Amino acid sequence: MKIAEDITVNGMSCKHCVKAVTEAVKALDGVKKVKVSLDEKRATVEYDDQTVGLDAIKAAIEEAGYTTE
Give the pLDDT confidence of 11-69 residue by residue, as tens digits.
999 999 999 999 999 999 999 999 999 999 999 999 999 999 999 999 999 999 999 99
Task: Decide which of 34 and 1 is more confident.
Answer: 34
pTM for the model:
0.94
C-alpha 47/C-alpha 52 separation (Å) is 7
| Residue 65 dihedral angles phi and psi, to the nearest 5° | 105, 15
| CATH at 33 | 3.30.70.100
Q: What is the pLDDT of residue 17?
A: 98
Confidence bin at 7 (pLDDT 50/70/90): very high
Domain encompassing residue 61: 1-66
Looking at the DSSP assignment, which residues form a beta bridge with residue 10? Answer: 67
pLDDT, residue 39, reads 98
Total number of domains constituting the chain: 1
Element (H, E) at 19: helix 15-26
